[in-house]
Amino acid sequence: MTTNSTFRTEMIEAREAPNQSRGVLGWLRANLFNGPINSIVSVVVIVLLARLVWPFLEWAVIEADFLGTTRQDCTGDGACWVFISARFETIVYGFYPEALRWRVDIVFALLAILVAWLAVPKTPRKKWVALFTLVGFPIIAYFLLVGGYFGLQHVPTRAWGGLMLTLTIAVVGIVGSLPLGIILALGRRSKMPFVKGICVIFIEFWRGVPLITVLFMASVMLPLFVPGNFDFDKLLRALIGIMFFWSAYMAEVIRSGLQAIGKGQNEAGQALGLSYWHRTGLIILPQALKLVIPGIVNTFIALFKDTSLVLIIGLFDLLAIIRAGLTDSNWLGFSTEGYVFAAAVFWVFCFSMSRYSQYIERRLNTGHKR
Amino acid sequence: MSEATTSRTTAPGSDRSMIEIDHLNKWYGSFHVLRDINLTVARGERIVICGPSGSGKSTMIRCINHLEEHQQGSIVVNGVPMTNDVKRIEQIRRNVGMVFQHFNLFPHLSVLENCCLSQIWVQKKPRAEAEKTAMEYLERVQIADQALKYPGQLSGGQQQRVAIARALCMRPEVMLFDEPTSALDPEMIKEVLDVMVELAHEGMTMLCVTHEMGFAKTVADRVIFMDQGQIIEEAPPNEFFNNPRSERTQLFLSQILGH
């Protein structure tokens, strides 16, 4: 039939895709072996991984010793995790008095429950829990950890250490820097010269000095400026310094999100008669924060890892406690195990934050399809 | 060469004009974008503003709800003079609804929430009442079945209808339309124009910047032609389209009605 126009009379029914493009085989074919060069590279990488990963697994897991109390229990050729398990209490609680460690346990457990409640999607009364986490929990945690009231014995902050100290600094830093960062970002974009000036100065100052300098100055120099015998707790100084430092970074991350929101959103809010704070809180910030979740979580992860810097002012976080353990004459020569363990702990926390943020991004993706 | 045919008539039956713009002048830096605009809009009047791009039409209507500031002249909306005072501005904005060329719906809220937001936070209505009003207006623009969807899931014409409903939920006395159909695919323009025509027939005071001359012919009480920041000609539609007095108007009409 020779015509120069077409006209379909019957629609084609959908059919199943051919087998080779589905399933595991299909994935392998499409991603790893979809061409000669790619196939060769895939083979090389697989061999490399095998040569690197297998020996590591042998050392770390298969031939390692996990339980025991002294170095005599390290009989195998592999890692001697006994170093970690024997000193586990110190690593987690630092120098917190043994009899009072139940207080730390309560705080840990409470934090875990609250975080889980907020993180899991369908739990009820999230707003109340969030309020409690931001207001009630810090107060409870303070009284439990520091003590001195309600019949609880006082524990000075220099006795805190290990994982407990790392988590305290990280949580305070994260929870403090985000709201402060938001306010600074909004202030920097303000048209009022005084507000804008203060925010710019704050951000540029705290971003311009290294964190280690901040901690050092806070620890050594602050007492010189403070009148009289007012003794500012060392940990408190570190917490404030860390919070201010990271809020400056956070402010810039959030500001980039605010800038990305089109002018029309604000104008629509204005046209509806909404005030500045209503527009910012209900329209602009929800969109801006959602947009910069990668940047925010990036900052949180960096904050978490930088808590190790408190070593410089004599506070014993997780890494410092492990290092202190290495100088113990009973446990010489196990630095590899110590550092691998520290790295693993950091990695678990940071990776969890990263995965959760990707989960949040996927869940919040409803609004972004334009 | 500008013909200052500025009619200040108010429609019969109204006691006070809805909008009074008097010797309005605006500069963007050193660029004189609005030059001596004088306009009075009566209650229930429908004004269509047309003109080449850059003529200041959008700028003029955006001055009415203070999305743009003016340097000289006065604007009075429903008896309330426009100043730089935030409280005054918000008072005027509560009474003036605006529909934008690019819809500007809030993408992180559902259609229903978009319409309820301002009712809850500005008018302090309880949620149930706000939702009832919202559903009422969503039904009027025939989009009630999409109430729980998000703007990203709707077509352009649907989004614009939601935007109109959202503005109407505040029960404004004036509606401003800034090129409402210019960003729409041709097959969706009609559904939006139908909503606007219905709104006009119900007596809403409307100022509409648009290129849709058919709409102007159907609904407008006056058509205003602007060029270079000035009102060149102002007349009822039959006079405007059949007997334009200014050469510039004639040139513009020949270009826009050509296709």
Q: Using one digit for the tens of pLDDT, what is the confidence trace for B155-167?
A: 999 999 999 999 9
**Inter-CA distances, A45 with A29, A48, A195, A366, Å:** 16, 5, 55, 37
Lowest mean pLDDT among A21-25, A130-134, B132-136: A21-25
CA distance B194 to chain A (A): 23
What local confidence, expressed as pLDDT, does residue A159 receive?
Answer: 86
Distance, in Å, from the CA atom of B188 to the CA atom of A176, rounded to the nearest integer, reads 49
What are the residues whose beta carbons fall under 8 Å from the beta carbon of B8, sequence distance 6 or more?
A: B38, B40
| Neighbour-count burial for A160-186, b at 16+ CB within 10 Å, e otherwise | bbbbbbbbbbbbbbbebbbebbbebbb
Reduce the DSSP state of residue B77 to 3 states and report it.
strand
Crossing angle, helix A101-119 and helix A162-188, to 10 degrees? 40
φ, ψ of residue B76 to 5 degrees: the values are: -125, 120
Interface touch A267/B67, C-beta < 8 Å: yes
What local confidence, expressed as pLDDT, does residue A19 receive?
Answer: 67
State the pLDDT confidence band at A230, using cuts at 50, 70 and 90: low
Between A312 and B130, the higher pLDDT residue: B130
Q: How many CA within 13 A on the CB side of residue B206?
A: 32
What local confidence, expressed as pLDDT, does residue A2 receive?
Answer: 62
- Give every strand in the sheet of B17-28, ordered side by side: B31-42, B17-28, B72-77, B80-81
What local confidence, expressed as pLDDT, does residue B15 receive?
Answer: 62
Taking the Cβ of residue B110 and every Cβ of chain A, the question of whether any pair is shorter than 8 Å is answered with no
CA distance B63 to chain A (A): 11
Mean pLDDT to the nearest integer, A103-115: 90
What local confidence, expressed as pLDDT, does residue A367 receive?
Answer: 42
Note whether A144 and A102 are within 8 A (CB): no
What local confidence, expressed as pLDDT, does residue A1 receive?
Answer: 55
Most confident of A8-12, A215-219, A241-245, A327-331: A241-245
Specify burial of residue B212 (Cβ count, 10 A radius: 0-12, 13-18, 19+).
buried
Mean pLDDT to the nearest integer, A290-295: 93
Taking the Cβ of residue A370 and every Cβ of chain B, the question of whether any pair is shorter than 8 Å is answered with yes
CA distance B66 to chain A (A): 9
Look at residue A115 and tell me whether its pLDDT is greater than 60.
yes
State the pLDDT confidence band at A20, using cuts at 50, 70 and 90: low
Q: Beta-carbon neighbour count of residue B115 at 10 Å?
A: 29
State the pLDDT confidence band at A3, using cuts at 50, 70 and 90: low
Look at residue B6 and tell me whether its pLDDT is greater than 50.
no
Interface test with A, best of B67, B113, B116 (most A CBs within 10 A): B67
Output the six-digit token pair for B249.
């108007």
Look at residue B41 and tell me whether its pLDDT is greater than 90.
yes
For chain A, what percent of residues have pLDDT higher than 90? 41
pLDDT tens digits, one per residue of A158-184: 888 899 999 999 999 999 999 999 999
Distance, in Å, from the CA atom of A141 to the CA atom of A209, rounded to the nearest integer, reads 31
Reduce the DSSP state of residue A13 to 3 states and report it.
coil
Look at residue B9 and tell me whether its pLDDT is greater than 70.
no
What local confidence, expressed as pLDDT, does residue A272 receive?
Answer: 95
Output the six-digit token pair for A44.
């090389």
Interface touch A274/B118, C-beta < 8 Å: yes
CA distance B33 to chain A (A): 20
Interface touch A367/B166, C-beta < 8 Å: no
Taking the Cβ of residue B166 and every Cβ of chain A, the question of whether any pair is shorter than 8 Å is answered with yes
What local confidence, expressed as pLDDT, does residue B3 receive?
Answer: 39
What local confidence, expressed as pLDDT, does residue A333 receive?
Answer: 78
What local confidence, expressed as pLDDT, does residue A370 receive?
Answer: 40
Interface touch A264/B102, C-beta < 8 Å: yes
pTM for the model: 0.84
State the pLDDT confidence band at B13, using cuts at 50, 70 and 90: very low
* Partner residue facing A273 (CB), from B67, B107, B118: B118
Taking the Cβ of residue B121 and every Cβ of chain A, the question of whether any pair is shorter than 8 Å is answered with yes
What local confidence, expressed as pLDDT, does residue B8 receive?
Answer: 41
**Inter-CA distances, B110 with A115, A333, B106, B208, Å:** 28, 61, 8, 27
Note whether B63 and B26 are within 8 A (CB): yes
E runs forming strands in chain A: 161, 316-317
Q: What are B141's strand-pairing partners? A: none
Interface test with B, best of A191, A265, A272 (most B CBs within 10 A): A272
Average pLDDT, chain B: 90
* Partner residue facing B94 (CB), from A273, A286, A368: A273
Which of A284, A209, A278, A282 is CA-nearest to residue A254?
A284
The position carrying tokens 């709201």 is A179
pLDDT tens digits, one per residue of B215-227: 999 999 999 999 9
Nearest CA in chain B to A363: B108
Look at residue A368 and tell me whether its pLDDT is greater than 70.
no
The position carrying tokens 């402010």 is A251
pLDDT tens digits, one per residue of A86-96: 888 888 998 88
pLDDT tens digits, one per residue of A242-284: 999 999 999 999 999 999 999 999 999 999 999 999 999 999 9
| Neighbour-count burial for A294-312, b at 16+ CB within 10 Å, e otherwise | ebbbbbbbebbbbbbbbbb
Reduce the DSSP state of residue B225 to 3 states and report it.
strand
**Torsion (CA) B112, B113, B119, B124 in degrees, nearest 10:** 130
Look at residue A73 and tell me whether its pLDDT is greater than 80.
no
The one-letter amino acid code at A53 reads V
What local confidence, expressed as pLDDT, does residue A147 receive?
Answer: 82
Taking the Cβ of residue A192 and every Cβ of chain B, the question of whether any pair is shorter than 8 Å is answered with no
What local confidence, expressed as pLDDT, does residue A251 receive?
Answer: 97
What are the residues whose beta carbons fall under 8 Å from the beta carbon of B15, sequence distance 6 or more?
A: none
Reduce the DSSP state of residue A192 to 3 states and report it.
coil
pLDDT tens digits, one per residue of B189-232: 999 999 999 999 998 999 999 988 899 999 999 999 999 999 99
Using a CB-CB distance cutoff of 8 angstroms, which residues of chain B are in contact with residue A273?
Answer: 90, 93-94, 118, 122, 170
pLDDT tens digits, one per residue of B74-85: 999 999 999 989
Distance, in Å, from the CA atom of A340 to the CA atom of A248, rounded to the nearest integer, reads 32
Taking the Cβ of residue B28 and every Cβ of chain A, the question of whether any pair is shorter than 8 Å is answered with no
Note whether B44 and B11 are within 8 A (CB): yes
Which of A144, A141, A146 is CA-nearest to residue A156?
A146
Output the six-digit token pair for B34.
């609005």
What local confidence, expressed as pLDDT, does residue B2 receive?
Answer: 39
Q: Beta-carbon neighbour count of residue B92 at 10 Å?
A: 22
Average pLDDT, chain A: 87
Look at residue A304 and tell me whether its pLDDT is greater than 50.
yes
Note whether B96 and B85 are within 8 A (CB): no
